Chain A
Amino acid sequence: VVENQDLQDSIKPQKVEFHSLNFNTTLHWQPGWAREARDALYFVQYKVYGQSTWQNKDECWAISSHVCDLTHETSAIQEPYYSRVRAALAGVYSSWSLSCRFTPWRETVIGPPMVTVVHSNKSITVRLQAPRSPYKRKRGSKIPMTNYYDLLYQVFIINNLLDEQHRVLVYEGKDKVIKIQDLRPGVSYCIVAKMYMLMLDRSSAYSSRQCTVP
């Protein structure tokens, strides 16, 4: 039988981290190193940096999973937040494991745009849609990420005849519909796009590729 103190330490959650994509924010952690830690339950609290009291996250109170959704709790996106987790097993509680400070506006990852292509004989029309945040307008539609940052679309073309890996930047800007002209008839082209964040010099991942059939 392990001593209480040992058990407390051995079930204490590790690597408590925020993950955030387009302001969809979750807290992740790993179980303690003890084998018994598999059966532990977890308790999550959060607060804005500088507040003295922690708030319980009711939906993540005595849960067995290692993820907790804090999208709603971190919706003042310029505020710095903290979260902490502790584990319990057989009536024994670990101490709290603290996350790093997390500021959604600064740290969320921007996802790629949605891309659709329509092609005619010698041109391709590309429609771009910026990723949406989880936050809704009064009417109920989700606010796009372009409302929160200066974001540019970057559109790349891949000429399948030449080189699968060679992407050529054909457009950078804010237009949602662009037309790529003077293409060779009878050639298959693929389009991928990224979001580029000017202010922080960061890019999203590439969108999935959309190809034309000759």
Chain B
Amino acid sequence: MASLQTLSKSFPGWIFFCCCCCLPLLTGSLPLKGASTAHHACRLRKINFQQPYIRNRTYTLAKTASALDKDTDNRLIGQQLFVNIRESNRCYLMKRVVEFVVKDVLLTEVKNQYPYVEEVAQFLASLTSELSSCQFSGKREHIEKNLEQMKNKMEQLGENGKTKAIGELDLLFDYMENACTDAPKKGGNKKKN
């Protein structure tokens, strides 16, 4: 029927479009963005975030935990992480946050209390290992200070600290995506007015 025709007609078209239009755009914008070449290691391919399976698992896990967290005032993953951090260092910072969450939250005794913890931990660990040669540039102090504040906040919250961190895995996922990939398709940049 018409189905195969339409699909086979449009599919090469898309590839053609992507090769001709997107690649020059991407490569063309790189020299503008990355002033220093040191940060090329601080990039993740979009494909990492395009698997609905792990994205949905992460969101489900976060939802399960956040339903148990009644503290709406304190938030670990938010814009405060990026205070005084230049854009080129944000991916590095998120890498450090993810390393911390994997090691000190997900791979502790809580992993038996929630579904999908190990899968999500494995996925996050694969991201950080892909960023193994990602380093910061400039001064270290702001990065360390912001990380320290986040860790302290979690510790101050005691038992609920870990619940909160797991409940924010959806935020962690999105922040990592935004900081480490180029221009994700999201509403954020196309909000109303």
A: residues with CB less than 8 A from B are 47, 49-52, 75-78, 80, 82, 98, 100-101, 103, 105-106, 123, 133, 135-136, 138, 143, 147-150, 157, 168-173, 175, 178-183, 198-201
Contact = CB atoms under 8 A, between A and B. Distances in A.
Given A75-B192, A77-B188, A179-B2, 4 more contacts: A75-B191, A77-B191, A171-B3, A182-B2
A182 B66 CA distance: 53
A106 B177 CA distance: 14
A50 B52 contact: no
Contacts of A101: 63, 66, 72, 167
B139 interface: no
Given A136-B193, A143-B192, A201-B56, A181 B167 contact: no
Contact of A181 (B5, B14, B59, B70): B5
A136 B192 CA distance: 6
Contact of B52 (A75, A80, A175, A200): A200
Given A82-B72, A182-B2, A201 B52 contact: yes
B interface, by DSSP: helix, strand, loop or mixed?
helix
Nearest to A147: B190
B182 to A, nearest CB: 15
B191 A135 contact: yes
Interface string B44-78: 00000010110110010001001100101111001
Interface of B: 1-3, 5-7, 10, 14, 50, 52-53, 55-56, 59, 63, 66-67, 70, 72-75, 78, 167, 170-171, 174, 185-188, 190-193
Contacts of A198: 50, 52
Given A98-B70, A135-B192, A50 B7 contact: no
A103 B50 CA distance: 19
Residue among B72, B78, B174, B191 facing the most chain A CB atoms (10 A cut-off): B72
A168 B73 contact: no
Given A100-B66, A135-B191, A200-B52, A105 B186 contact: yes
Nearest to A200: B52
B55 to A, nearest CB: 7
Contacts of B190: 143, 147-148
B12 to A, nearest CB: 12
